Copies of this chain bind each other. A is one copy, B any other.
Amino acid sequence: MGRKDTVSTPLADRADDETLDLDPEQIKQLGYLASDCIGEYFARLPQLPVFPQTTGDELKNLLSEPLPVDGQAPQEILRQFEQLVIPGCRQNAHSRFWGYVSSPGAIIGAIADLISSALNQNVTSWRSAPAAAQIERLVIDWIKQMVDYPSDAGGLLVSGGSLANLSALMAASRAKAKSDIGAGGLRGSPSQMMIYASKEVHFSIEKAADILGFGRDSVRYISVDAQFKMDVAELAGQIEKDIEQGLAPFCVVGNAGAVNTGAMDPLDDLAEVCRKYDLWFHVDASYGGFAALAPSAKPLFAALDRADSLALDPHKWLYIPIDAGCILYKNTEQARRAFSHSAEYIRVLQESPVESFAFFDHGIELTRRFRALKIWMALKHYGARRLGKCIEADIRMARYLAARVEQSDDFELLAPVELSIVCFRYAPAGLRQKIAASANDRSEQDQINEQLNDLNTAILNRLLRGGKAYISNTTVRGKFALRACIINYRTRQSDIDILLDEVARIGAELAPQ
């Protein structure tokens, strides 16, 4: 190669303290160290309190330190991690953890995350990560098969349900808008676009309506029946009314496992309403979707394939470590039209359809982790049958909990158990008799319920601080509910017995004599 001059540049080469490189043997040793750390963690786990016995201020004092200027050895960092961080964690992998909708991850998924981060693939597109992109597309195909979604549907992995729901509403609005709102914005759109969901829908729908500029008021909350399923007649009536008033309904969101109680909306009926009014049908199956793998639950998911988009969270009931969310679009071209932009520095040079595929044309993120690897490895290691068995057992554990609640004089079941969420409360016989006796006195009933709400709030706080089991709470028709969501492959009946014994013990201590 020609040179204008041959004077060598005075710029120094990279020095040894200007790299973070390790040799392969050091990398292995570091990996062994971390493997021992997690192995020992799981050995100690059964003895750890499920929720840490600490406070915000204590943890803050314990963990605060100035920005490290010089480094320390990995051994020291791991020791600090074991001594200070682990005891401050909620132990989501514990057999008695049933809070919110959080599963213990499968260990093979954590192994996959190590490899994924070591290779540091950036799965923006095929071009940036050919094999990783191909594996993600394969995993999306597998997910479609697991929930019987059409094989020509598209989709991608996202960080979780919030992003999946946001992406779905984005695609829905662009597909159904009467003007080019992507370019011109919502301010100039001919009419206010409206979203419909049951009162039990996850709050990420309202948040998405806010983020997307439709406004939180654009979400119409439809009543639910005694099983917490959307009232389809009310839905159709509200849509009619809104159209008459010049509003523009564009999307109905159905729940396939509502977050409070696990209720399944009548998906087929909702799909029918959407067909009639030409609306986008989105199903939020973030919690429930993979229960389609469990024989006893499969029939509930028969109409999933009628959804235009489907939010699913492998990091919930497929036991994949966080984050592994998924959005499926029945018509992938509609998603592409909503999200596709272009810029010079990401211009695609390839011409083959596989090689020109870009995930950023179908979603919000550009840089993306190799999330598919942990799903790929977990599915290959366990197989869909085994995962389905674990889910089936979770459902059975939930039925066991519900049965024990119903058999007991101290407890009251607050909602039907459709999947694996159990809402109940401690309600000793005395108070329940009082409620029954005051059937015609609403204010007397309200007063007792208020008393029970306070009692169960206090029970929950003491239960969590005690560390024997972890559940969360919700409100079911004005009643404060203890809520156990069992998506935990370590849970056995003895764990549930311990929970109920503990709640009853605390309840007896706290209950007014």
In the complex formed, the residue of B with least CB distance to A39 is B28
Do residues A40 and B24 form an inter-chain contact, with CB atoms below 8 A? yes
**Chain B residues, Cβ within 8 Å of A28:** 35-36, 38-39
Do residues A105 and B118 form an inter-chain contact, with CB atoms below 8 A? yes
Query: Is residue A27 contacting chain B, with contact meaning CB distance below 8 A?
Result: yes
Query: Is residue A336 contacting chain B, with contact meaning CB distance below 8 A?
Result: no
Do residues B9 and A403 form an inter-chain contact, with CB atoms below 8 A? yes
Central interface residue in A72, A218, A343, by most chain B CB within 10 Å:
A343
**Chain B residues, Cβ within 8 Å of A374:** 117
Do residues B111 and A113 form an inter-chain contact, with CB atoms below 8 A? no
Least distance between A414 CB and chain B CB atoms (Å):
13
Q: A67-B146, A216-B182, A396-B12 are in contact. Are A121 and B90 (CB under 8 A)?
A: yes
Distance A40 CA – B23 CA, assembled complex (angstroms): 10
Query: Is residue A257 contacting chain B, with contact meaning CB distance below 8 A?
Result: no
Q: In chain A, residues 54-77, which have Cβ atoms closer than 8 Å to a Cβ of chain B?
A: 54-57, 59-60, 63-65, 67-74, 77
Question: What number of A residues sit within 8 Å (CB to CB) of B?
Answer: 210
Query: Is residue A99 contacting chain B, with contact meaning CB distance below 8 A?
Result: yes
Least distance between A400 CB and chain B CB atoms (Å):
5
Q: Count identical subunits in the complex.
A: 2
Distance A117 CA – B116 CA, assembled complex (angstroms): 12
**Chain B residues, Cβ within 8 Å of A218:** 185
Do residues B31 and A34 form an inter-chain contact, with CB atoms below 8 A? yes
Distance A23 CA – B384 CA, assembled complex (angstroms): 22
Distance A208 CA – B384 CA, assembled complex (angstroms): 37
Query: Is residue A254 contacting chain B, with contact meaning CB distance below 8 A?
Result: no
22 A-B pairs with C-beta separation under 8 A: A2-B429, A9-B407, A14-B396, A14-B397, A15-B389, A31-B114, A34-B114, A35-B114, A59-B130, A60-B134, A63-B135, A71-B382, A88-B134, A93-B119, A103-B120, A109-B117, A118-B321, A159-B369, A161-B367, A186-B214, A323-B369, A325-B367
Please list the 4 inter-chain residue pairs (A to B) with the smallest Cβ-Cβ separation, ordered nearest first: A213-B213, A31-B35, A185-B215, A88-B131
Further pairs besides A104-B120, A160-B367: 16, Cβ < 8 Å: A11-B396, A17-B389, A20-B107, A27-B42, A30-B111, A31-B32, A34-B35, A35-B35, A60-B134, A69-B385, A72-B380, A74-B108, A86-B131, A161-B367, A322-B370, A349-B473
